[in-house]
Amino acid sequence: MAEDKFDYEKLGLKMGLEIHQQLDSQTKLFCRCPNSLTDKDPEITLYRRLRPTQSELGEIDRAAYEESQRNLQFLYQAYTHHTCLVEADEEPPHPLNMEAVDISIILASLMNMKVVDEFHTMRKQVIDGSNTSGFQRTGILATDGYVETEYGNVTIETLGLEEDAARRIGEEDGMVVFRLDRLGIPLAEITTSPDMHNPLQVQQVAYQLGQILRSTKVKRGLGTIRQDLNISIKEGARVEIKGVQDLDLMPTMVENEVERQLNLIDISRILQDRDASVETTIHDITDLLKDTESKVIQSIIQSPTNEVKPTAVLAIKLRGFKGLIGREIQPGKRLGTEFSEHGKKMGVNGLFHTDELPAYGVTQQEVDTINEKLDITGNDAFILVAGEEQKAYNALQEVIKRAQQAIIGVPEQTRKALDNGNTEYLRPLPTASRMYVETDIPTVIIDKQHVVEIAANLPELPYIKQERIQKQYNLSEDLASQLVHRNQADLFEEIKEQLPNMDSVKIASDIVYTIKDLKRDNYDTSKLTTSLLVEIFKLVEDDIIPAAETEVVIKDACNDITPMESVKRNNLKKLDENVIKEAIDEIINENIEMIQQRKMGAMSPLMGKAMAKFQGKADGQMVSNLIKDAIMKNMN
C-alpha cells in the first residue's frame, strides 16, 4: 500500500477499533455451563421468531428493523451438559462469573484504565437470531485508558464484559440454524476512541492490544477473537467494518474505505447537480420480458415454485443516475454493487441496471421497451429485479433507500471485511435505541482493594517474555517465539525450575515440536502434565536414557504408559560406561590398519560404526572422546 495515496490529515481521517476476545474462564458468564464448544449431535432443538421493540422514547433501532424485514425463523441446537435453560431463555441468568471479572480487571490494568465501582448489566437488542432472548447482556467494567504508539497515545475508551452469541450453523428456506454452545461464553470488548489518523497507527494499536490479550487467560484459535474497524472522513460518515482479522491487510482496508467514501461523495455532488431523485413506485414489467432470451430471468419466471410463491420482474426509476450506477467506487466494486448487496439481504440473487444493459441476454429492444414503460429520458436510469414477487418487492424497497442515500452522500453502515481488502454491506449502523437495563441481574460492587492487588501482580507481556526467555535460557529466536506464541512458555519455565541442569534447548524443542506433532497425529497430549514431563526429562538428566529417546517416552505417556515402563518396553536405557569402553576397544582392534593409515582421518568412520552399534544408547560426546583417545594411542 502506498502510504501517500491520500492526504489523511486533510481528509480528516478518524479511526477506532473494537476488539472482542473470548475469555478462558471455567464457566460461562451467566450460568455454570462449561466454557467450551462441542461437535456432538444436538440433543434438543428450539424454535423462535424475533421482532424489534421500541425504546423508552418510542424509537426502533434501524438495524433491528431491517433484520426483521427478512422474516426469518430460528432453530437452536442445545445439549444436556453444554447448555442449560439460561441459554434457551427459559430461566433467569445466574450470578455474574467473577473469574471473568478478574480477567477483565487484569486487562484493564494493562491498558492503564480506571475500573468502575459498580458493574451494571444491560440488555442490547439483537434480533438476528444469535441470542434466543432477542438481546445480548453486556456491561462496562473500565474506562479512560490508553496505549502508547510512535504516533502518540491512543485512548482506550471502554472495556466491556459481555456474553458471546450463539454459533451460526447454516440457513435454508428462511430458517437459520444456531448452536447454543457458544452463547454465554465471556467476551471482553475493548473500544478505542476514534483518535487514530494514520493506517499504520491503527495496525500498530491492533498488534499491541493483541499482545495484551495474549498475556492473560483468553481463548486461542479461530473464532476466539474478532476485530472491528471504525472509519470516517470529514465529509463522509462512520462505517464499521466487521471481522478485520489480517493485521497486514488493515492499512489496505483503510485506504479502500477512504477511496469508497470519496467516490460516494463525488457521486452525491453529481446527483445533486442533476437534481436527481428516486421514484418510489415499483413497476411490474414481467410481461415485457416474458419472451426474453436472458437465461437468468427466464429461469425465475418459469420456476416451478411460482404457483405457490408467484415470481415477477419488478423495476424502479432513478432520475439522474445514468452512468453513475456502473461507476467504480472501490477496486472491482461499483455503486451498483452496493445496490445489489442491499437487495440480496432480502433474498434475491442480484439486479440489472441501465449502465450494464443490453447484456446477459437482455436485448436493446427490451431495454427500449422498459425505458418507454418507465418514461426513462436523458440521465435517468432503471433497476430491475427478478425473483419471488414479495422478495423482489422487498429488495427494491431496500434499493430505493440506498439510492436515496446516494443523493445525500455516505450512509452510516456496518460492513463485512473481505479477504482482498474490500468490504460489503451487512446492515445499517445500530443506534442508541437498543440498550436497556437488565432487571434480572443485581449490580455487582467492585472492591477497590481487590483491583489494587490484581494490578500489583500483572502478567508479563508476550514480547517482553520472549526477549527474556531467549536471553535467559540461551534459546534461538524461533524457539522462544514458538513457546510464547503457543502459550507454553510458563510450562517450559516450570520444568526448568525443577530441572535446572537439563538442556534448555532440548526441553523447548520437545514442548514446541514433539508435542505439536503428536497432537497433530491425534495423540491425547492433554495427559502430558507438568509433573509427567518433568519425570520424563529427569530420565535424561539422570543419565538413564539418551536425550534422543524422549520422543518415544512422551508418545507412550499419551497412551497411559509410565516413563519407566516405556524405558523397559523399548529397551531405551543407556549402556553402562564399562560396556561402552569394551565395545569401542573391540571396534579399535578390528580397525588398527585403517587407524595407522588414516590417523585422525579414521575418526568419522569409526564414530559411524560405534553409533550404529550402540543404537542411540550411548552418549555421543563420550563415544567421541573415547575413540579420539584410542586413535591417538594407536597412531604410531
Residues 374 and 391 in one domain: yes
Residues 332 and 381 in one domain: yes
Confirm whether 448 is domain-assigned: no
Residues 161 and 200 in one domain: yes
Residues 307 and 390 in one domain: yes
CB 575 within 8 A of CB 614: yes
Residues 122 and 170 in one domain: yes
When pLDDT is averaged across residues 576-582 and rounded to a whole number, the result is 74
Confirm whether 249 is domain-assigned: no
Computed on alpha carbons and rounded to an integer, the radius of gyration of the chain in Å comes to: 33
Distance CA(257)–CA(261), nearest Å, equals 6
Residues 290 and 204 in one domain: no
Confirm whether 439 is domain-assigned: no
Confirm whether 456 is domain-assigned: no
* CATH code, domain carrying 313: 3.30.1360.30
pLDDT range class, residue 1, cuts 50, 70, 90: very low
The length of the chain in residues reads 636
CA separation, residue 138 to residues 84, 115, 216 (Å): 20, 16, 21
Give the residue among 16, 358, 330 at the shortest CA–CA distance from 196: 16
Residues 230 and 121 in one domain: yes
Q: Where are the alpha helices (DSSP H) in 329-476?
A: 335-344, 364-374, 389-408, 448-455, 462-472
Give the residue among 259, 278, 433 at the shortest CA–CA distance from 342: 278
What are 246-256's pLDDT values in tens digits? 999 999 999 99
What is the number of structural domains in the chain?
A: 4
Contacts of 551 (CB under 8 A, 6+ apart): 510, 514
**pLDDT reported for residue 2:** 47
Least confident of 420-429, 577-586, 612-621: 612-621
Mean pLDDT of the chain: 90
pTM greater than 0.85 (yes/no)? no
Confirm whether 267 is domain-assigned: no
Distance CA(70)–CA(173), nearest Å, equals 11
Residues 81 and 151 in one domain: yes
When pLDDT is averaged across residues 608-618 and rounded to a whole number, the result is 73
Final residue of a structural domain among 569, 600, 622? 569
**pLDDT reported for residue 594:** 85
What domain range is 51 assigned to?
Answer: 8-238
Residues 547 and 607 in one domain: no
SS3 category, 350 = coil
Confirm whether 248 is domain-assigned: no
Confirm whether 266 is domain-assigned: no
**pLDDT reported for residue 329:** 96
What are 269-314's pLDDT values in tens digits? 999 999 999 999 999 999 999 999 999 999 988 876 666 678 999 9
What are 382-418's pLDDT values in tens digits? 999 999 999 999 999 999 999 999 999 999 999 999 9
Least confident of 366-370, 429-433, 510-514: 429-433
Confirm whether 498 is domain-assigned: yes
Residues 484 and 532 in one domain: yes
> How many CB atoms lie under 10 A from the CB of residue 20?
18
Contacts of 115 (CB under 8 A, 6+ apart): 105, 108, 109, 141, 142, 446, 448, 451
Residue 622, pLDDT above cutoff 80: no
Distance CA(431)–CA(339), nearest Å, equals 22
Residues 564 and 619 in one domain: no
Distance CA(237)–CA(604), nearest Å, equals 73
pLDDT range class, residue 616, cuts 50, 70, 90: low
What are 62-109's pLDDT values in tens digits? 555 565 566 678 999 999 999 999 999 999 999 999 999 999 999 999
What are 187-236's pLDDT values in tens digits? 999 999 999 999 999 999 999 999 999 999 999 888 899 999 999 999 99
Residues 50 and 189 in one domain: yes
Distance CA(338)–CA(334), nearest Å, equals 7
